Structure 1
Amino acid sequence: MVLYNNINNSDAVQQWNNLPNVVLIEIFTLLSDSDLLNTSSTCINWRRIFYHPKLWSKQRLQLKLIDRTYNLSAYRYKMQNFLLYSQLVELRFDPTQILILKEILQAFEILACNRQLKSLILRPITSSSCLNEKEQPTGPLCDKIFHLLKDVIECSPNLEELSFGCWIEALHSINDLMTILNQSRHQTLKSLHLASIKNSETHFTPDIYISSEVFSPFRALQTLSIDSTYLTENLLHCFGQSQRTPLNKLIVHVSEFRSDIVQINDSVWQTVSTNLPNLRVTVHMINAYETFRKYARILRPEMPLSHLRMYFCSSLNVDMLCYLSIHYRNTLECLDVMDSITEPALRYHNPFRTEPDPLVLLAWQCKQLTELSILGYEVLEVNLLAIAKLRPQLRTLNVCVDCVMTLQFGRLQNRHFFEDDDGEDAFVDYGHIDNYIQTIISESVGWQWRPLQKHELPIGVYEFCSPLELSCLEQIHNSFSSS
């Protein structure tokens, strides 16, 4: 392969294929995945370098195990060529398919020989469990998988990140896995994700308990995701010890409100905030159909809450929004609310009342707010404008166009509508936002803004068919690394 310079061909001929491989490898490490694929088609030498372990060891290897032929083919190709020496591995799979579980078994057999592994993220695409299918002999297969997972943990001396909580089957082996992590990886593990998703409508998950003392040996842990049932004062005291690396991110999943759970005292949260000034708490409310009084058992005033995400809770009342505005005005950075869009959409505030909209008040009070998504709830058009004006630093402002309301004041006479400032009636129109208002919002927040259409909404939001499937799980997993 020869590269010619148009200015002086005789002096500028470069034999790129004669460059030392060590130089080519360093160049290739700077390329994206798509560019690497293109370079592998250039010549035989570059094709060989494409498979060099150093080239792929520091790139996140994403494996997709979906029950489709092309996905399985791509997965097997990556597994056979790159899995053995990849340091960062992310496995996205369908846990309900027995054939997929067999593929995972083979992947873990390879990973058990990979001593360079630093990150292993298991991302199921559904909250359903294959163990519910009694006609399928999945129990012994799952036992083999988690036996191999223990081997992977023991044989990975550099393991820093592990995520398996959203996989229901993993919960049945959580005590054994935590024992292995305690014994062998307590000095290296920096990020651990054990939080689960429980949906009583699709399956039943038995209560599984792990004590707070299990987390004491982890001296390097900086990020932890757990269920709210594990959030105790003893756990917070474990991470407040001065001999360990400070915990920076705590992610709590709330799927139920157990009567036997004792709420954490505000003085404890105050002590934690003093000892861990950089700690930020993310709370995920998932299918939690409860009153605000029960929400307040988790959301304590002294908690350093930075992100609150509510998925399919069918509840966003004024008390909740006012509570956030009062207690988290200096910490709240993100509020995401996702619910099914029904006819009509859910209403959190009566637009005909004279009180200010609580979302507008929240945008005014919470000075650190940069992300706001309200999907499935009615939002008044002028209030969107007010939010944008009050918080110009917003990076994300998501609403569904079908949920945006405009009010027309006037009266009906002979089936015709007449506008009147002192109108006798008010009519609500949905799904239309004035272009002028859109332009003002875009100019206020400094980026192009537009409301989401139906086809742009996450799966499960517009149709309430499987709310805890792909969309919710994707949002939760992304929050592990983003929030």
Structure 2
Amino acid sequence: MDEESQAVQPRDQSCWAALPDVCLRRVFWWLGDRDRSRAALVCRKWNQMMYSADLWRYRTITFSGRPSRVHASEFESALWYVKKFGRYLEHLEIKFLNPYNAVLTKKFQVTMRGLLSCLGKNNNRLKSLSVQHLELDRPVWRNSIRGSLIKSLSFFLKKAGRQLDHLSLKGARLTVEQGCAVLGSLSCSRGESLVSQLNIEDYFSHHLAVYSSPQFSKTMATFRSLVSLTLNYNCISDELLDGLCENNARTLWTINIKCHVHDPHGQVIWGMSWARLARRASNLKVNFFFERVMKHERLARVLLQEIPVRGLSLRSCYFSDPDWSMRPTLTDLLPTFRHTLQAPSPVMDDWTRAHGVQLGSHHCPTSGPEPPPKPRPRGPAQSLCL
């Protein structure tokens, strides 16, 4: 009799029906969009779970830059998602991978216009926005398409600037005028921006001497709560450092600086500008990332002793200068920062041992007998991280 009663037991009395909401929400968390949509058809409770805000706070939307039937619905799916669940979004990341032709860039621009328009109308929760590696200086971006995309992005940032805390436009590759216009839109509503984390690495096109632009320094002066700033060395100037000192000294903790061989990096920066900023922003740590900038005289021009350097990365690909040596950097330059640099990485230990170099108090001793020095790295690609 008991077996018969269990057999005819209503389906909604099963263990799944009794599953607590917190557990059911966790199950939905691991499902993809298609599986979530199918699960929402099971019962009313599961349908309500589909619209739980916790499921839609984080989103990465990736668009393929290659024509393909498999990826043909990406643009439509992105718009569908934002229209249906965009009001719950708090962290949004958008990627457009190596666009193949102007047709795809046009489709992406139209999709972004609809996506940002919908977010601007329905969302007041967005805290983090990342739109990376657009590379808008490539020929596949026609002037009209590029201009329309920049206009849509600027218009959205005017609305969302009041709530955004993190903004990454890494790899946008804009002109100075275009880049300053987009960043300036963040402060249109209140005259200042409260973004705390800003990533503008490779934000401007290569070969641009951004440091000489008064417009850029003026635009950066509107940021008043920066905690972390990532940018290229061709943006660094005394005016920028003075602005950071005046407007962000109380909050600024980290500056990440990329110095690429193709970016202008010969500007003169006064040590007193760095010293003033380091004195006012007592918690400031600066991380440098050098790409194909390996010669000691160039590094010494950038790495002033007044900078509170925390991390240093030297990377070189196909660096074939026969007269180049790492020894001057290891012996003359790095010991200047031995009190602020973090502990050397295993790669750094290999380099110092291979060159027979001691970095004073910065060098980490090893227990037991010293291992034999490893052979000097050969080949075109070389890197050193501290």
Q: TM-score scaled to structure 1, two decimals?
A: 0.59
Q: What residue identity is the alignment partner of 1:48?
A: N
- TM-aligned CA distance change 1:245 to 1:406, over 3 Å: closer
Say if 2:209 and 2:264, in contact at 8 Å, map to a contact too.
Answer: no
2:86 counterpart residue number = 84
Q: 1:366 to 1:159 in 2, by over 3 A?
A: farther
Matched, 1:365 2:362: yes
Partner in structure 1 of residue 316 of structure 2: 312
Q: Identity of aligned pairs, percent?
A: 14
Q: Specify whether residues 143 and 16 from structure 1 end up closer, same or farther in structure 2 by C-alpha distance, changes over 3 A only.
A: same
2:299 corresponds to: 295
Does 2:139 correspond to 1:140? no
| 1:149 maps to 2:153 | yes
User: CA offsets per residue over residues 127-157 of structure 1, 9 Å max, x none?
Assistant: xx56443xx5611101110100011101213
Aligned 8 A contact 1:84 1:111 in 2 = no
Relative to 1, partners in 2 of residues 1:348 and 1:336: Cα closer, same or farther, differing over 3 Å?
closer
Cα distance change of structure 1 residues 179 and 259 upon mapping to structure 2, 3 Å threshold:
closer
Give 2:57's aligned residue. Answer: 58
Q: How many Å separate the matches in 2 of 1:218 and 1:308?
A: 26
C-alpha distance 245-262 of structure 1, shift in aligned 2 (>3 A): same
Equivalent AA in structure 2 for residue 241 of structure 1: E
In structure 1, C-alpha distance between the alignment counterparts of 2:149 and 2:219, rounded to whole Å? 23
Deviation of 1:118 after TM superposition, in Å, equals: 1.7
Give the Å deviation of 1:229: 2.5
1:296 maps to amino acid: A
> Which residue number in structure 2 is paired with residue 281 of structure 1?
286
CA-based RMSD: 4.4
AA matched with 2:338: R
AA aligned to 1:84 is G
Please tell me whether the aligned partners of residues 309 and 335 of structure 1 are also in contact (alpha carbons under 8 angstroms). Answer: no
Q: Which SS does the other structure have where 2:150 is aligned?
A: helix
Amino acid at match of 1:64: T
Cα distance in 1 for partners of 2:23, 2:352 equals 57
What is aligned with 1:121?
Answer: 130
Deviations for 1:264-321, whole angstroms, at most 9, x for unmatched residues? 31x4333322321221111121233x52112112111121112222332636712222
1:380: which partner in 2? Answer: none
CA contact (8 A) 1:28 1:36 kept: no
Q: Is the 8 A contact 1:165 1:171 kept in 2?
A: no
Kindly provide the CA deviation profile for residues 350-377 of structure 1, in whole angstroms up to 9, marking residues without a partner as x.
95xxx62x3xx3596167xxxxxxxxxx
Higher helix residue share? 2
- AA aligned opposite 1:91: I
Q: Deviations over 1:410-457 (max 9, x none)?
A: xxxxxxxxxxxxxxxxxx9x99xxxxxxxxxxxxxxxxxxxxxxxxxx
Whether the aligned pair in 1 keeps the contact of 2:227 and 2:254 (CA below 8 Å) is: yes
Q: Which runs of 5+ in 2 are unaligned?
A: 1-8
Measured after TM superposition, the shift of residue 88 of structure 1 is: 0.9
For 2:3, the equivalent position in structure 1 comes to: none
- Residue 288 of structure 2 aligns to a residue in which SS? strand
Question: Structure 1 36/362 Cα, relative in aligned 2: closer, same or farther at 3 Å?
Answer: farther
- Indicate conservation of the 8 Å contact 1:240/1:272, yes or no: yes
Rate the CA distance shift 1:231–1:31 in 2: closer, same or farther, 3 A: farther
- 3-state DSSP class of the match of 1:283? strand
Aligned to 2:224, the other structure's residue is in SS state: coil
Q: Distance between the aligned counterparts of 2:14 and 2:27, measured in 1?
A: 21
Aligned partner of 1:214 in structure 2 is 219
- TM-score if structure 2 supplies the norm length? 0.72
Deviations 1:13-57 (A, max 9, x none): 7654367xxx73x55565685357677655624653464261344
CA contact (8 A) 1:28 1:55 kept: no
C-alpha distance in structure 1 between counterparts of 2:336 and 2:72, whole Å: 49
Match of 1:436 in 2: none
- Structure 2: which amino acid aligns with 1:276? A
Q: Which amino acid aligns with 2:132?
A: R
Q: Give deviations 1:306-360, integer Å, cap 9, x for gaps.
A: 222233263671222234541222322377899xxxxxxxx97895xxx62x3xx
Q: Distance in 2 between matches of 1:50 and 1:155?
A: 30
Residues 171-182 of structure 1 aligned to structure 2 (within 5 Å):
173-182=178-187
Count of matched residue positions in the alignment of Structure 1 and Structure 2? 346
Question: Contact between 1:165 and 1:195, CA under 8 Å: does it hold in 2?
Answer: yes
Match for 2:260 among 245, 255, 269? 255
Match of 2:198 in 1: 192
Contact 1:108 1:152 in 2 (8 A): no
**Corresponding residue number in structure 2 for 1:67:** 65
CA distance in 2, matches of 1:77, 1:205: 37
